[in-house]
Structures are given as structure tokens and as C-alpha cells.
Amino acid sequence: MKAFFTFLAVFLAIAGPARPMELRAPTEAVILTVGGAIAVTNYGDTAVFDRPMLEDLGGDVIVTSTVWTNGVSEFEGIKLSTLAELLGVTAGTFVSVALNDYNVEIPVSDATYLEPILAYKRNGSYLTVRDKGPLWVIYPYDGNENARTELIYSRSIWQLDRMIVEE
Amino acid sequence: MKNFYLDLFFGSDENSGRANRFLAGLTIVILLFATYSGWRVQNEIGNMTEAKNDVIPWNLGQLEIEFIGFSQSLRSYEESLGRADSEDVERLRSEIRTRFDIFYSRVATINESDIYRMVRTSEESSDKFRDVLTFTFETSELIDTLESLGVESIGRLREQTVLMHPTVRQTSLTGVKLQAIQSESYRQRVFETLAQYWLSVSGLFLAMTIVACLLWITARALRKQTVETLAYAARLKAVFDASPYPILVVDGGDKILDVNKAAEVAFRYSWHDLTALQIQDILVQDSLNHNADDTALRPEVFAETGQGSVGKSLLARRRDGSTFQSITFRSTATEGQSNDEIYVVRDITETLRHEKELLESRDHARASERAKERLLAVVSHEMRTPLHAILGAIEQLDGTWQSAKQEHLAGIAEDSARNLLHQVDNLLLVARDRSIENAVTRKPFDLRILVEKVIGANSILATRNGNHLALEEFPQDLGEVIGDPDRLRQILVNLVSNAVKFTKDGRITLKIRKNSATGSIDFEVRDTGIGIAQDGQERIFEDFYSTNWTDQTLSAGTGLGLGITRRFTESMGGSISVESGLGKGSRFYFSIPLEEARTRDRGRKLLSLDPRETAERIQDANIRRILVAEDDKFSRSLLRDGLHELGFEVSTTDNGRDAVRLAEQSHFDCIILDVNMPRLGGLEAASEIRSGNGASCSCPIIALTAHVFPEETERASAAGIDMILTKPILRQELLLVLLGLPENASAATPLIDETQFQDMIGLYGPAIADEVIWRYHQDCIQRLDALDGKANSKAAQERLLKELHTMAGSSALIGAQQCVAKLGELETLARSGKFSEAFDELPDLRSLLELTVQELQESLGNTGEPQPGRTNDPAPKSPPAN
């Protein structure tokens, strides 16, 4: 599976539509700000995103249960690897910060290793702050036993607000 | 060389196989257990690495912090409302929303997630959390309409928030307790997992220890077995090398695998050359017994008897092509796939040579024995013939003596001649007994008659020595017995004649008893003679032992008599012993198992002959003309004179050729032929007379011989001879025979010949005649019973001829002439090949026999009382018939 996704990622990188060299400016409320060591920016030294921009990057779905929710849910969001690729990030960590200033370091390697997504929908509905939105980092807990550790749980940051890439 | 022998014994050990199987099973069990243990441990470790819960106290602690954040933003908003700074108000309003939403999401998580179930359900926190939940939902509606809320509303909300704070805090603190509980259960689980792990490892360790022990034991056993096997192989190898016989090991394809030193030597090949050959190259079947192209050794040679050590006679071929005879043994060594055969070859050249030498020496010994026998027979003949002449001459002189001295001297001459004859007879008996395995015969006979005959024969000498010879005791109820009468007679003759010889003016008594304990008949011969010294008693039963007699008048003999007696006694299953002392007489005792034929209590009389009466009867006898053929001059003249004196008309010749011619030309009533004659022997002459058509072709023929061998009897019978007499022929014996001979075929045939029958009564006396009739009857019935069958075999046909002939003899003797005629007819039929017709006539013969016996008994009854004074009255000058 991992190999398949690796292949897919490489395939997309080579044969997919050409990477936009410039990120367009957000038209709606910014829900994610990425700073630090990134190659592409659209707002000063940072890359800012509204929800349509993220949705345009291509949605991905993880169906899984979580320790914080009841039953199996379908999460839809943008792959962290897509974001990293988009921003030309190949190594280091995403220092991710929540609305309540909770922060955690997500290694860039996680993006291709466990392939988490930045979910903006749960069971077809957009996530609000009350539902741990607008972005919630979701790992494939049911699909990969390596995702069922306290370390990964701590990286499953919700109400994600901004990320700083550190090399 | 090869580990061939090692292979034989390796790998077939059942114990090691069983241990191996057990070990394999145990290993599998242990492996399964280890796998299970490993799986368990890995599983438990996996459970530990996989966190079910987030950091609970943090999350719950965050609840209060976020509540405080919301509460502070609310106060800031309330304060800003008082300052009426709109720009600031909008920002603060957004802040409130964010803070509340964050708080809200925390509450929702606690409300939803399984890991906070305890907060929702535990007694101490459930009420408080419900209050928090209610507050959150109610507040969320207010927050949604925040712009429309006035200062009072906000102030009320803030107050409610302040009031709510302790409840939120209490809920947060529940997390500490939850954490404690969870830590406890986590610790418990770790402990359990480790305990299980420890158990698994311990089990594994134990199992491995057992395996190690078993492996060690097995290894030790294997090592021991290997040592033993090697020792065994070494021993076998030593046997193999040391064997004096060539041993060849051959594989299933007949190729020679291995040979020993002896094989290299025997076949003159080296080990390398031999092992390049096939077994057929050196071992072939004996060409003497097979076709030349059939000599190759084929599997069937051994296959016929299956596996095992079976010796076969094979020809072994050496390198140079020469061969030797062998006995080859083969066995199969089957082990696993290999199916080797072991050939052990024994060179029997020497054995065969020894065998041949043995055979030659045996043949040589046999030839010597035969030569000795022939010599004895010839010598005895040569001695007996002149003795015969001497005795006959003395007999002729009887009654012609001029003086008492002459008579006395003649008596000495006669006694000496008779003694000499007796010794010659004994010598002959010993020679025959040793050279020929004479079978002891078994036939019924009358013991009383036999004993009385012996006494009669010795009575003359007894009287002469002044002895009283008597039969003192005889079992009253003893009938016929079954045994060998000839041997018994010889024993008694020897003992009685010894007793008579060594006793002067004394008593010789015979006692015969039945021994009911042993079932034997006990005989006792006691005399009052000179006796035997103690040291001699042990040796008298040896051959050629003779005591040193000083008294020459009691001359001893060859010393053979008692030796013969002992051998005869033992040959009949009996034993003999003696009690004696010098001057005290002797008591010989012997015991012989004689089966009683039947009980028949009849009076018996001593057989005796009165020559004067007999001579009268000869006048009435049918026999007149007699032809005598005898080459010995003296014997011939004695016979002629003796018969002439008895009233017969006698013609003589000295050879068989003339006898045949004479018998052809003229009629004789009887022909007497000596067996040994020049030109033509007696048997051949008889054969020619019988086969010819001459005047005397059917008359009775008597053969004379000095020695009778069993095969001679058969030949005589085949030649048509009616009777064989052993020389010397005594007058009285010949007379008896002549009187009993069948007369020539006569036209008129009454049932019985009255004259002859009366002669017989006169001869025996009525009591014995009755006995004779009874025995004749029984004998004929037995013989007829034996013939009861069909003429389907050669043996049956020969038997018929023989029995007809024998019955004709006995019928003639008793005067049953119609039976004689009938038997003659049947014999003629049989001789002309019409056997089945002869067999068909047998019932007629049986009825005729019954009629005859009836007639004989009636005729006997008419004769009346037996004539008195005829017992115990031996003729003083006539030698007794024996």
C-alpha cells in the first residue's frame, strides 16, 4: 500500500499537472498559515490558504475510528505529503500550532510514511471549531498499527491554525 | 576394503528409531509452544506499543484552562462594552467565539469519546459533567447570538461562568483519578504479560533442557552402538579372512563384490580380478548331470529351496580353466535396498577321494566276507559229505557186527563222526550268523513238540552215558506260541547236548514255565554233571571258549555252542545265565518272550518212529520207483542201499544231464537230485524235467544240498522242486518225506487216501494226528484267507502259486488227495497264466477243504484208542530225526 502511494506520489510528481510556481491569494477566510523553510509563498514569507484552495489541491479520504470519537468516521482532507510537495518541503518538521496554542512537531517523513491528511470534512460535513475544525490532522489509525501510538495521537492535532517548517 | 558388514548391522536398531521418533515429536511440540509463546509476547508488546488512550489528564486539564480562556475573553468583552470601542468589541467578540468553540469541542470530545466514559459515568463526576454539558449547550446558543446580547446578558453569562468554574475544575480533576486507575490497570497488564512471558520462556527452557538430555542420551547410545557394530564387523571380517573356505559376496546382479583370502587361493585369482567377474564365471553346474550348454549357474539352482543355507554341488572353475568339485552354500543378506548373496564354497575333491577310497575298501571287505562265506560253505560241504558217508557206512554195518568189540569201536566211530558233524554245523551257524543278518522269524509253533523232539534227539547219548533225561515241568495251559522255532531248537539242542555230554550216570531235567510277570517263557536245563568253575562261568558264553578238559572221553568241541546259544537268545529278546560250581552240576536258565498264539489244551505225545512198523507200511505206499542223482559216490551208494533196503526200486546217476534223460524216458514216483552236480546242477535239471514233456515231468522232486541259503530256496521253488533236504540225509528222515510226498495224478480220487491217512495215524498216534488235522485245517484256512483277493498284481499271482504249492504239500502229507488234485489243477491253471480263473475256483477249494477235514476227523474217530506203548521209546540204533 505504501509502495503504491509512493508510486502514486512519484507518478503525480512526474506526470501530473505542472506544479503552480506561484500560489494564488486566498479569497475567503484564511484557515491555514504555513511559514518557515518553504519554497513557495503567497503572503510575505508565508503560504496562506483558504478552504477552496485546499480543496483544489485534491481531496483524500481516510475511513477510520479515533480514540476521540465514537464509531467509524469518514474524514476528507488534503494529504500532508501534497502540501509538503506543494511547498517544496522535503525534510525537517512541521511545527504545528492549534487555535489554543497547543503545538506539536510532525516530521515531514510522516507525510510519506503514515500519510496523514489535514481533514476539513467529517462524514461529509465541514469541520467547525466546535467539531475540532477547521483542520484536523488525521492518521489512518485503523489501517496502520503504527498509527496507534501515543506519539501519533499527540501529533493528531485538531483546530490546526498554522504550521512552521523547520529544517 | 568394504564397509559391507557395517551396513548389514547399521540402521536397523529399533530402539534408536523409537528414540528418534520421540525426539522428533517432542521437538515439534516444543517448537509449537515456542511459537505460541513468541506470538503471545509479541502480541503483548504490540498491545503496549499501541496506545488506546490519549493523554487523559492533559486533555481534562485543558478543559479547565480552556474554560478559563473563555471566561477571561468574556470579562474582557464585558469591560470593552463599557468603553464602547466598537473596533475592539468586534475583535473581542471573535475571541469569545473562538475560546468558547475550543471549550465546546473539548466538552464534546469528553462527551463522545470512549476513553472519557468514566467521567460521564462515575458517581462523583457524572452530575458535575452533566452540569458542564448543560452549561455548554445553553451557552452555545447565547454565543451564536452574541451581537444581540446586551451588557446585562453578558454580565449574567459571566456570573454564570464564574459560578460554573468550580464544577469545571472538579471535572478536570477527575482526570487525575482516572489516570491513577488507568495506570494501575496498565501496570497489571504489563505484569500479566511479563508473567506469561516468563512462563513461556521457562517452558521453553525446560523443553530445551529435556531435548538436550535426550540428544545426549541418544548420542551416547549411538556411539555405543557404533562401537559394538564396528567390533562386530571386525569380528565378522576376521571370520571372513580366517575362513578356510572361499567366501564370495555377490550383489543382486550376480557381480562379485568381495572375496576372502581363501577364495583368492582356491580360484587362483587376485582380489581385483575376482571382483571384476560375475559369479557364473567361476561357479557352474556340474556338467556331468547337465547338458553342456546348460552349465551356467542359474538362479533356479538355489531358488528351488528358497532362502537359506542349502548346499549345492557345483563345479568351481579356476583361472587356468581347471575345475574342482564343490559344495556351495548360499544365503541372502537383505538390508534395505541391497540384496547381497553370500556364497561359501567348499572344495570336496578330497572328500570325494576319501569317499571313493572308503567305498573301495568297503567293497573289498565285502568281497572278502563273501569269499570267507563261500569258503565256509564249501568247506562245510566238503566236510559234511564225507561225514555223511562215514555215518551212512556205519549205519549200513548195523547188525553185521561179529563181535562186541567191533560193535563198540563202531559206536565210538559213530559218536565221533556225529560229534564232528555237530561241530561243523556249529561252525557253519556262527559263520552264517556273522555274515548274514539272519532275520529272526516269527511263526506259530508247538513248543511242546519242539521240546520233546530235542529230548528225543539226545536220548541216545543220554542213555549211553547212563543219564536220565526228562521233561519235568511244562505249562499245562500253554498252546501254540509265536517265535523263531529254529533258533529256539538250536538253543535247547546246545544246552541239552552239553548237559548230556558232561554228565555221567546223572540226571538232566528240563523245566519250562510261564513267567506271568514278564510275559516270557522261562527255560531251565539242569544237570548233575561236572559243573563249571566260577571263573569259567563268565566266559562260557563267548565264542571259541572251551574249558580245559582232562577227561578226553568227554571231549569238548569248538567252544562255539554256548556262544551261539547266547546270540540266539539275545536275538530273540531274551537273556541267558548259568549257576554252577565244580562238581555240583550246572543250571542253565534262559528266558525268551514268546507270545502265545492261542490256548489249546490237548494231550501230546512224543514223536517217535518205529522203523519195523514203518517198513511194513512202505509196502502199502504208492511210491515204488525212485531216481537218485548224486555225484558223490559214497553218498549215492548210501542212498541207493538205504532206499533199497526200505523196499524202493532205485535208479541212480552221477549227473543232472543223465537224470533229465532218464526222467524223460521212464516213469518215476520220486526224483532225488543233488544240487551240486557236474554237467547239470540239480536245480537246472529239475527245471528241465518240469518244463519237458517226459514220463516223469510231474513227479515229486527232492533236492539235496549241504547248505541252504534263503535265495536258494526260492530258486529251488521256481525250478519246480517240492522239497529241499539238507545233507547228510538220514534214512528215517528221507522215509518220512517220501511217505508225505504227493502222489502222482490219479484218475480215481476219493476225498481222502485212507491208506495214507491210516499210515499217518500209525506214525503219529491218534492224538497227534488230531492235532495235525486241526493244524492242517487252520493253516489252509489262513492261507486261503490271505489269498482272498483278485489276481490284479504280480505279487498276488506269485503268492497264489506259492500258497497252492504249499497247501498241495500239506494236503498230500495228510492224505487229502482230492484237495491235492484240485490244488494241482489250480496250479496248472495259474502256471498257464489263467490267474483269474484260478482265483475264481478258490471258494470251491474252500468247501472241498471243509469236506475233507470233516471226513478226516470222522475217519480218525473210527480208529479208536491210541495205540499204547509208543511214547518215550526211541529206537536205540536209529538216529533220531531232527
pLDDT of residue B707: 60
If asked whether residues B713 and B766 sit together in one domain, one would say no
Question: Does residue A20 sit within a domain?
Answer: no
Instruction: Say which residues have a Cβ less than 8 Å from residue A86's Cβ, sequence separation at least 6.
Output: A19, A23, A40, A57
pLDDT digits (tens, 9 = 90+) for A73-102: 999 999 999 999 999 998 899 999 999 888
pLDDT of residue B865: 41
Q: What is the CATH number of the domain that holds B562?
A: 3.30.565.10
Question: Does residue A93 sit within a domain?
Answer: yes
pLDDT tier at B555, thresholds 50, 70, 90: very low
Closest Cβ opposite residue A67 in set B54, B69, B101: B54
Is B105–A148 a contact, with Cβ atoms under 8 angstroms apart? no
Cell of A67: 480514540
Q: Which of B224, B241, B258 is the last residue of a domain?
A: B241
- Angle at CA B708, nearest 5°, toward B706 and B714? 135
pLDDT of residue B165: 92
pLDDT digits (tens, 9 = 90+) for B139-175: 999 898 888 888 888 889 989 999 999 999 888 887 7
Is 60 exceeded by the pLDDT of residue B293? no
Interface of B with A in 67-96 (CB under 8 A): 69
- Select the more confidently predicted residue: A138 or B873: A138
**Half-sphere exposure in the Cβ direction for B184 (13 Å, CA):** 6
If asked whether residues B473 and B532 sit together in one domain, one would say yes
**Half-sphere exposure in the Cβ direction for B484 (13 Å, CA):** 18
Q: Is A29 helix (H, G, I), strand (E, B) or coil?
A: coil
pLDDT of residue B53: 58
Q: List CB contacts (< 8 A) between B49 and chain A.
A: 149
Q: List CB contacts (< 8 A) between A130 and chain B.
A: 101, 104-105, 108, 140
- For B872, phi then psi, to 5°, come to 45, 40
Cell of B348: 570336496
Name the least confident of B176-190, B302-316, B513-527, B558-572.
B302-316
Is 70 exceeded by the pLDDT of residue B606? no
Tell me the sheet residues that pair with B250: B256, B341
If asked whether residues B735 and B750 sit together in one domain, one would say no
If asked whether residues B635 and B769 sit together in one domain, one would say no
Q: Closest Cα partner for B669 from B655, B652, B682, B650?
A: B650
Pairing of strands B723-726, B701-705: parallel
Determine the distance from the C-alpha atom of residue A63 to the mean position of all C-alpha atoms in its chain, rounded to a whole number.
16
Is 70 exceeded by the pLDDT of residue B325? yes
Q: Closest Cα partner for B502 from B625, B573, B586?
A: B586
Distance CA B662, CA B689 (A): 10
> Residue B836 corresponds to which amino acid?
S
pLDDT of residue B840: 81
pLDDT tier at B728, thresholds 50, 70, 90: low
pLDDT of residue B638: 75
Q: What percent of chain B has pLDDT over 90?
A: 10
Q: What H or E segment, with its residue span, contains residue B466?
A: none
Mean pLDDT of chain B: 77
Q: What is the CATH number of the domain that holds A135?
A: 3.90.420.10
Residue of chain B whose alpha carbon sits nearest to that of A154:
B54
pLDDT digits (tens, 9 = 90+) for B454-468: 887 777 778 888 888
Q: Is B272 helix (H, G, I), strand (E, B) or coil?
A: helix
Burial of B249 (0-12, 13-18, 19+ CB in 10 A): buried
- Angle at CA B386, nearest 5°, toward B381 and B391? 120
If asked whether residues B713 and B792 sit together in one domain, one would say no
Distance CA B773, CA B688 (A): 35
Distance from CA of B99 to the nearest CA of A (A): 8
pLDDT of residue B535: 75
Is B140–A132 a contact, with Cβ atoms under 8 angstroms apart? no
> Residue A89 corresponds to which amino acid?
V
Closest Cβ opposite residue B51 in set A132, A153, A159: A153
Question: Does residue B363 sit within a domain?
Answer: no
Name the least confident of B114-118, B554-558, B757-761.
B554-558
Instruction: Say which residues have a Cβ less than 8 Å from residue B702's Cβ, sequence separation at least 6.
Output: B670, B671, B672, B673, B721, B722, B723, B724, B725, B737, B741
User: B610-622 burial, b for 16+ CB within 10 Å, e for fewer?
Assistant: beeebeebbeebb
Distance from CA of B35 to the nearest CA of A (A): 22
Q: What separation in angstroms does the CA of B809 have from each of A124, A150, B158, B640, B737?
A: 147, 140, 171, 24, 10
Across B366-393, average pLDDT: 77
B795 and A CB contact within 8 Å: no
Biggest distance spanned by C-alpha atoms of chain A: 42
Q: Is B625 helix (H, G, I), strand (E, B) or coil?
A: strand
Across B69-82, average pLDDT: 86
Across B530-556, average pLDDT: 62
- Select the more confidently predicted residue: B741 or B597: B597
pLDDT tier at A124, thresholds 50, 70, 90: very high
pLDDT tier at B874, thresholds 50, 70, 90: very low
pLDDT of residue B225: 92
pLDDT tier at B44, thresholds 50, 70, 90: low
Distance CA B394, CA A89 (A): 169
Is 90 exceeded by the pLDDT of residue B439? no
- Select the more confidently predicted residue: B410 or B740: B410
Is 70 exceeded by the pLDDT of residue B217? yes
Is 60 exceeded by the pLDDT of residue B308? no
Is B54–A154 a contact, with Cβ atoms under 8 angstroms apart? yes
What sign results for the dihedral spanned by CA atoms A28, A30, A32, A36?
positive
Across B833-843, average pLDDT: 81
- Select the more confidently predicted residue: B127 or B878: B127
Distance from CA of B214 to the nearest CA of A (A): 43
Highest mean pLDDT among A9-13, B261-265, B302-306, B839-843: B261-265
Distance CA B879, CA B611 (A): 11
Closest Cβ opposite residue A130 in set B50, B62, B104: B104
If asked whether residues B34 and B47 sit together in one domain, one would say yes
Is 70 exceeded by the pLDDT of residue B561? yes
Q: List CB contacts (< 8 A) between A150 and chain B.
A: 51, 53-55
Distance from CA of A80 to the nearest CA of B (A): 22
Question: Does residue A48 sit within a domain?
Answer: yes
pLDDT of residue A98: 93
B793 and A CB contact within 8 Å: no
A·B CB contacts under 8 A:
61
Is B98–A154 a contact, with Cβ atoms under 8 angstroms apart? no
pLDDT of residue B735: 66
Helix axes B794-814, B766-786, angle to 10 degrees: 170
Question: Does residue B430 sit within a domain?
Answer: no
Across B255-271, average pLDDT: 91
Q: Closest Cα partner for B440 from B255, B635, B283, B593?
A: B593
Distance from CA of B175 to the nearest CA of A (A): 15
Distance CA B48, CA B50 (A): 5
pLDDT tier at B433, thresholds 50, 70, 90: low
pLDDT of residue A145: 86
Closest Cβ opposite residue B54 in set A68, A70, A159: A68
Distance CA B228, CA B230 (A): 5
Q: Closest Cα partner for B474 from B438, B449, B499, B445?
A: B449
Across B262-285, average pLDDT: 89
Residue of chain A whose alpha carbon sits nearest to that of B95:
A99
Is B54–A150 a contact, with Cβ atoms under 8 angstroms apart? yes
User: B120-133 burial, b for 16+ CB within 10 Å, e for fewer?
Assistant: beeeebeebbeebb
User: B188-220 burial, b for 16+ CB within 10 Å, e for fewer?
Assistant: eeeeebeeebeebeeebeebeeeeeebeeebee
Residue corresponding to grid cell 491208506: B755
Distance CA B96, CA B76 (A): 9
pLDDT digits (tens, 9 = 90+) for B485-505: 878 888 888 888 888 888 888
Is A67–B55 a contact, with Cβ atoms under 8 angstroms apart? no
Helix axes B794-814, B731-740, angle to 10 degrees: 110
Mean pLDDT of chain A: 86
Name the least confident of A3-12, B156-165, B497-506, B672-681.
A3-12
Interface of A with B (CB under 8 A): 67-70, 99-100, 102, 128-132, 145, 148-150, 153-154, 158-159
Question: Does residue B414 sit within a domain?
Answer: no
Contact B751, B851 (CB under 8 A): yes
Distance from CA of A16 to the nearest CA of B (A): 37
Mark residue A123 as left, alpha or beta (left: phi above 0; alpha: psi -120 to 50; beta: remaining). left
Question: If you write DSSP's letter for every residue of B306-364 in order, what string do you get?
Answer: -SS---EEEEEE-TTS-EEEEEEEEEEEEETTEEEEEEEEEE-HHHHHHHHHHHHHHHH
Distance CA B110, CA B64 (A): 13
Residue of chain B whose alpha carbon sits nearest to that of A155:
B54
Q: What is the CATH number of the domain that holds B653?
A: 3.40.50.2300
Question: Does residue A18 sit within a domain?
Answer: no
Highest mean pLDDT among A60-64, B354-358, B704-708, B733-737: A60-64
Is 60 exceeded by the pLDDT of residue B517? yes
pLDDT tier at A140, thresholds 50, 70, 90: very high
B109 and A CB contact within 8 Å: yes
If asked whether residues B664 and B712 sit together in one domain, one would say yes
Distance CA B852, CA B752 (A): 7
If asked whether residues B738 and B769 sit together in one domain, one would say no
Is A129–B105 a contact, with Cβ atoms under 8 angstroms apart? yes
Q: How many domains does chain A have?
A: 1
- Angle at CA A69, nearest 5°, toward A64 and A72? 30
Highest mean pLDDT among B140-154, B274-288, B417-431: B140-154
Instruction: For residue B292, give the DSSP letter.
Output: G
Question: Does residue B630 sit within a domain?
Answer: yes
Burial of B35 (0-12, 13-18, 19+ CB in 10 A): exposed
Cell of B520: 516270557
- Select the more confidently predicted residue: B241 or B608: B241
Instruction: Say which residues have a Cβ less than 8 Å from residue B14's Cβ, sequence separation at least 6.
Output: none
Residue of chain B whose alpha carbon sits nearest to that of A147:
B50
Q: Which of B202, B225, B241 is the last residue of a domain?
A: B241
pLDDT of residue B547: 53
Question: Does residue A4 sit within a domain?
Answer: no
If asked whether residues B58 and B196 sit together in one domain, one would say yes
Mark residue B406 as left, alpha or beta (left: phi above 0; alpha: psi -120 to 50; beta: remaining). alpha
Distance CA A56, CA B488 (A): 148
What sign results for the dihedral spanned by CA atoms B117, B122, B125, B128?
positive
Across B408-415, average pLDDT: 80
Q: Which domain holds residue B217?
A: 1-241
If asked whether residues B197 and B50 sit together in one domain, one would say yes
Q: Where are the beta strands (DSSP E) in B385-495?
A: 443-445, 468-473, 480-483
Question: If you write DSSP's letter for every residue of B523-546 in order, what string do you get?
Answer: EEEEE-SS---HHHHTTTTSTT--
Question: Does residue A2 sit within a domain?
Answer: no
Is 50 exceeded by the pLDDT of residue B305? no
Q: Which of B686, B707, B742 is the last residue of a domain?
A: B742
Cell of B67: 474554560
Q: Is B680 helix (H, G, I), strand (E, B) or coil?
A: coil
Mutation target vs A (from B67, B102, B137; most A CBs, 10 A cutoff): B102
Q: Where are the beta strands (DSSP E) in B593-748?
A: 595-598, 625-629, 649-653, 670-674, 701-705, 723-726
Q: How many domains does chain B have?
A: 5
Question: Does residue A21 sit within a domain?
Answer: no
Is 80 exceeded by the pLDDT of residue B321? yes
Mark residue B308 as left, alpha or beta (left: phi above 0; alpha: psi -120 to 50; beta: remaining). left
Question: Does residue A152 sit within a domain?
Answer: yes
If asked whether residues B82 and B198 sit together in one domain, one would say yes
Tell me the sheet residues that pair with A105: A95
Instruction: Say which residues have a Cβ less than 8 Å from residue B657's Cβ, sequence separation at least 6.
Output: B679, B680, B685
Is 70 exceeded by the pLDDT of residue B619? no
What sign results for the dihedral spanned by CA atoms A5, A11, A16, A21?
positive
pLDDT of residue B17: 63
Q: List CB contacts (< 8 A) between A129 and chain B.
A: 97-98, 101-102, 104-105
Q: Which domain holds residue A58?
A: 30-166
- Select the more confidently predicted residue: A117 or B517: A117
Q: What is the CATH number of the domain that holds B844?
A: 1.20.120.160
Is 70 exceeded by the pLDDT of residue B478? yes
pLDDT of residue B300: 52
pLDDT of residue A120: 95
ipTM of the complex: 0.83
Residue of chain B whose alpha carbon sits nearest to that of A68:
B113
Q: What separation in angstroms does the CA of B236 have from each of B3, B6, B139, B229?
A: 11, 10, 108, 10
pLDDT tier at B432, thresholds 50, 70, 90: low
Name the least confident of B282-286, B557-561, B865-869.
B865-869
Is 50 exceeded by the pLDDT of residue A17? no
Question: Does residue B756 sit within a domain?
Answer: yes
What sign results for the dihedral spanned by CA atoms B309, B315, B317, B323?
positive
If asked whether residues B184 and B275 sit together in one domain, one would say no
Is A149–B50 a contact, with Cβ atoms under 8 angstroms apart? yes
Is 50 exceeded by the pLDDT of residue B716? yes
Is 70 exceeded by the pLDDT of residue B871? no
Cell of B556: 569238548
Question: Does residue B251 sit within a domain?
Answer: yes
pLDDT of residue B620: 54
Is B113–A130 a contact, with Cβ atoms under 8 angstroms apart? no
Highest mean pLDDT among B364-368, B507-511, B619-623, B842-846: B507-511
Is 50 exceeded by the pLDDT of residue B194? yes
